[in-house]
Amino acid sequence: MEKVVITGLSAISALGDNLDEFWENLLQAKSGIARIFRFDPAEYRTQIAAEIKTNMSTLLGYSVANLSLNTQFAMAAAAELVRDAGLENSGIDKRRIGISLGTGLGGMYYTEDALTRLIKSGPSRVNPMTVPFIEPNSIVNQIAIKWGFIGQQHTIATACSSSANAIGIALDMIRSGRVDAVLTGGVEATITPLMVAGFDRLRAMSNNNDDPENSSRPFAHDRDGFVLGEGAAMLLLEKESAAKARGAKIYAELAGFGSTGGGYHMVMPIPDGSDSALAMQLALEDANIGAGEIDLINPHGTGTKLNDVAEFNAMKLIFGDRLSAIHMTPTKQLTGHLLGAAGALEAVYTVKAMQTQTITPFKKLDDEFSLNINFSAPLAAKLSCAMSNSFAFGNNNVSLVFKK
C-alpha cells in the first residue's frame, strides 16, 4: 500500500495567526490563555479562555461580513495551507482533491445571536444567513468554493475527536483511491456566553481565574479542569508518488489511524482506559509498528480529574514501564482545548516536532504520573515515530501515528 504523506501545514489559534507564530510561541512556552474579552465573564465561575483577537478581515485581506466566525478561522487556515503546500500550482486535478474537516459544534455559537434576535425583535429580524452560518458543512463548502476543490468532501462531528477522525478518514480516502490529496483538519469557535455557561455547569473547566497562564494543568496533582480554546489547523495529505512527482516538501508520513466508539457514558471516560487503549492499539497495527517504536506522544491531556487518570491508565496498558521514557507533549496547557479542532492542532504540532526533531517546553507543574514532560528549554530529540491522541465525550476515541 502506497504511503500517505503530509505536504502542507497551517494553524491559527490564540498562539498565533499562522504556523510560524504558533511554533515560535510554543518554543518559548507561552500561553494563549487570558481573561475572556469577547463578552463580560464576571458572572461566570470560569472567566478565562484562549481566544483569537485578530481582526479576520485584516488577516484575510477581504471582508468577512458574510462568513460565520468558525468559517473565518477555517478560511484563514486553508489559505495558509494552500500556500504552504503549493497547492494552487500543484498540477493536481481539482476533481481529485478532497476535503475532510472536523468540528464539534460547527456554528452553534451563532445560534445565540439568532435566538436573541428572534426573542427580542421577532422572526423578521433573524439574519437570513442563520442556517448557513450554523450548519457545520459551511466550513467545507466555503473552502471548496474559493479554491475549486470538487473531490469527495466530508464534515465530521465526534465531539473532541472530530478533527482527528477527519484526518483519519482523509487517510482512508486516499488509500481507497477515491482522491489523490485531501485538505484535512478542523475548526472550532465556541467561546460564547452559552457555551461557556454549559461547560461551567458541567464543572469541567478550570476556574483558576487569577492565574490564567497556569490554569490549564494536564496531569498535574492540582488540575481542576480544561480551558476553552478556539481556532483552526489543517494538513494536506497526499499520495507519496504524487508528492514526489511534483517536488513537494514532505513533512512526515501519516501511517496509522485507530478509532473506537462509545458505549459507556455521555461525558465520562472508562476509568481503566480500555477504550482509549484500543484506539491506540489499532493505530499502531495500522501503522505496522510496535509500541516500542513510539518516541513521542501528544496526549489528549485535558487537565480534568477523571480524564487524565483514564488516559494514563490507557497509555500504561499499551506502553507499560517504557511510558516514563517517551516524550510527552500536553499542548492544551498552552493552547487551551479547541474541542473539535484540538486533534488537528495537536497533529500539526506533532508533525512539526518530528520535522524539526524538537520537543518544545511546557510550564512547570507537579506531575501526578511522572511523565516525561519537558519543563526546561527546547530539546533536540530523535523522533522517528509519534502518536497523537484525541479522546472525546461519548468515548469516541482516536489515535494517529506519524512516521519521520
pLDDT in tens, 330-386: 999 999 999 999 999 999 999 999 999 999 999 999 999 999 999 999 999 999 999
pLDDT score for 156: 97
Cβ contact 33:207 at 8 Å = no
What's the predicted TM-score (pTM) here?
A: 0.97
pLDDT score for 338: 98
Distance CA 352, CA 391 (A): 21
pLDDT in tens, 104-141: 988 777 788 888 899 999 999 998 888 888 888 889 99
- Listed in sequence order, the DSSP H helices in 176-304 are 193-202, 240-245, 274-287
Q: Which residue has the higher pLDDT, 162 or 129?
A: 162
Specify the fold of 4-394.
Peroxisomal Thiolase; Chain A, domain 1 (3.40.47)
Positions annotated as catalytic residues are: 160, 300, 337
Q: Choose among 105, 92, 87: nearest CA to 10.
A: 87
pLDDT score for 114: 87
- Listed in sequence order, the DSSP H helices in 225-273 are 240-245
> What is the signed CA dihedral for 167, 169, 173, 175, rounded to 10 degrees?
80
